[in-house]
């Protein structure tokens, strides 16, 4: 299963002892989870509060037979099928059908993971995880798409080095005003945009786990007229209430 990864210079054995927590198992989270499974990551933790509905079938991840099941449970079962071909590089999957807001186990999940990935459809959940990630000095890869479905973005939060999410979404910041459309409940969803965003996020996770170059604090994607991908090295906000006092 992994023979062609080796030809690309990726050693899946180095990923066997890595744990990635994916919070939000929708059109983006499922693609990230499957991609990391296919490159050899040893453990995934899937967390989502929703059930699979017919509206979720217009993007990758779920099948009609999954309707009515918790998203995290349904996708965990799909991923564990890969153990038939992963052989000695086994995959361990934990899943939780829960709302992460004020969830007692959230800190435990964050502490146990090498990287946390969030792909929620609301800002409160993103900022909740962001604060816990910064407090525990973990790495966060946060991603999402716009209400019209045509744009997306990935933020990489490395405490003390890159901006945390609160650096962008403080009400006094221009990003908080300009990007208010990121924060509303899920609107349109295009599998094209979601898959591109998920692929770029998976790439950032893989580069971080393998200590490779090419990690950006922010990547913006636009598909409305042309496919435009813009990576940025953004600076932290010095007076950020969450990460402002942290040093590298």
**Which helix (H) or strand (E) element contains residue 218?**
strand 218-222
Catalytic residue among 164, 167, 186, 243: 186
Pairing of strands 19-23, 115-118: parallel
What residues are paired with 143 via a beta bridge?
A: 154
First to last CA, the chain: 38
Q: Is residue 94 a contact partner of residue 45, using CB atoms and an 8 Å limit? A: yes
| Residue 202 backbone phi and psi in degrees, to 5 | -60, -40
Assigned token pair, 177: 């005003």
Residue in 107, 108, 128, 104 with CA at minimum distance from that of residue 118: 128
**Which helix (H) or strand (E) element contains residue 157?**
strand 151-157
Assigned token pair, 80: 């564990």
Assigned token pair, 110: 């964050």
Rounded to whole angstroms, the Cα distance separating 90 from 95 reads 17
Residue in 177, 210, 234, 198 with CA at minimum distance from that of residue 26: 198
143 is catalytic: no
Catalytic sites, residue numbers? 186
């Amino acid at each position: 299963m992994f023979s062609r990864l080796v030809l690309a210079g990726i050693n899946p054995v180095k990923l066997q002892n890595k744990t990635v927590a994916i919070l939000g198992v929708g059109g983006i989270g499922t693609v990230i989870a499957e991609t990391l499974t296919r490159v050899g990551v040893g453990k995934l933790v899937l967390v989502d509060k929703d059930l699979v509905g017919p509206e979720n079938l217009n993007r990758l991840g779920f099948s009609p037979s999954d309707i009515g099941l918790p998203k995290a449970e349904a996708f965990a079962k799909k991923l564990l099928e890969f153990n038939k071909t992963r052989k000695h590089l086994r995959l361990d999957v934990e899943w939780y059908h829960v709302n992460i807001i004020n969830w007692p186990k959230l800190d435990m999940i964050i502490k146990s993971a090498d990287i946390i990935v969030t792909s929620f459809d609301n800002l409160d959940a993103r900022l909740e995880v962001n604060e816990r990630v910064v407090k525990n000095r973990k790495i966060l890869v946060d991603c999402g798409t716009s209400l019209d479905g045509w744009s997306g973005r990935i933020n990489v939060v490395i405490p003390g080095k890159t901006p945390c999410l609160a650096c962008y979404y403080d009400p006094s910041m221009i990003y908080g005003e300009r990007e208010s459309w990121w924060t509303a409940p899920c609107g349109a969803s295009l599998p094209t945009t979601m898959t591109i965003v998920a692929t770029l996020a998976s790439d950032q996770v893989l580069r971080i786990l393998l200590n490779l170059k090419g990690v950006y604090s922010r990547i913006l994607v636009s598909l409305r007229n042309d496919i435009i991908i813009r990576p940025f090295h953004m600076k932290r906000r010095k007076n950020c209430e969450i990460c402002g006092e942290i040093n590298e």
